[in-house]
C-alpha cells in the first residue's frame, strides 16, 4: 500500500508555489529599494543571507544603479571643491 499519494503531490505543489511567491515577493521588495534586512524579517528568514541569495537575480541592475549614484555624489563633491577655490 502506498502512502501519501495524491495528497503528498498536492502538498509539494503548494510548497513550490509558496516558495516561488516568497522569492518573487522578496525580489520585488529588494528591487523597489526595500532594505534586504526588512525583506528578510518580513519573510521570516533566519539570516539576511538567505534573502540575498534568493534575490541575487535582481542584483545586476542594482549594481549599475549603485555605481551611478556613487558617481553622482563624487561628481558633486568634485564640483563643490572646484567652486570653493
Q: What is the pTM of this model?
A: 0.53
User: Domain tally for the chain?
Assistant: 1
Using only the alpha carbons of the chain, give its radius of gyration.
21
pLDDT in tens, 12-69: 666 777 778 888 888 888 888 888 899 899 989 899 998 888 777 767 777 788 889 9
Residue 5 has pLDDT above 60, yes or no: no
The Cα 14–Cα 83 span in angstroms is: 61
Residue-range definition of the domain harbouring residue 70: 5-84
Report which of 70, 68, 29, 18 is spatially closest to residue 51, judged by C-alpha positions: 29
Amino acid at each position: 500500500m502506498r502512502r501519501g499519494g495524491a495528497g503528498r503531490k498536492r502538498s509539494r505543489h503548494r510548497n513550490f508555489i509558496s516558495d516561488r511567491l516568497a522569492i518573487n515577493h522578496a525580489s520585488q521588495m529588494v528591487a523597489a529599494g526595500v532594505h534586504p534586512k526588512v525583506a528578510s524579517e518580513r519573510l521570516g528568514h533566519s539570516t539576511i543571507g538567505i534573502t540575498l541569495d534568493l534575490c541575487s537575480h535582481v542584483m545586476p541592475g542594482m549594481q549599475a544603479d549603485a555605481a551611478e549614484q556613487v558617481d553622482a555624489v563624487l561628481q558633486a563633491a568634485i564640483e563643490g571643491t572646484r567652486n570653493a577655490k
